[in-house]
Amino acid sequence: MSPASRPEHVLLRAIRVLHERGAHRIQVVPYFYATGHWRCSILLDGHPLDALRYTNGMGWHLPGLETEAVVDAEQEADAIWATLTPDQREAAVRPDPAYVAWFVALLDACGDSVPALWDDHQNYLREGQVWIGGDATFPLPPGDSLRGYL
pLDDT tens column, 121-133: 999 999 999 999 9
- Could you tell me the pLDDT band of residue 150, with boundaries at 50, 70 and 90? confident
Beta carbons of 63 and 133 less than 8 angstroms apart: no
Portion of the chain with pLDDT greater than 90, in percent: 91
- Could you tell me the pLDDT band of residue 1, with boundaries at 50, 70 and 90? very low
Beta carbons of 42 and 26 less than 8 angstroms apart: yes
Residue 85 has pLDDT above 80, yes or no: yes
The pLDDT value recorded for residue 40 is 97
The pLDDT value recorded for residue 115 is 98
pLDDT tens digit sequence for 21-49: 999 999 999 999 999 999 999 999 999 99
Collapsing DSSP to helix, strand or coil, 50 comes out as strand
Centre a 10 Å sphere on the Cβ of residue 111 and count the other Cβ atoms it contains. 11
pLDDT tens digit sequence for 89-133: 999 999 999 999 999 999 999 999 999 999 999 999 999 999 999
Q: Spell out the SS3 assignment of 65-134.
A: CCCCCCCCHHHHHHHHHHHCCHHHHHHHCCCCHHHHHHHHHHHHHHCCCCCECECCCCECCCCCEEEEEC
**Residue 94 CA, distance from chain mean position:** 18
Task: List, in order, residues 6 or more apart from 109 with CB less than 8 Å away.
Answer: 132, 136, 138
Residue 88 has pLDDT above 80, yes or no: yes
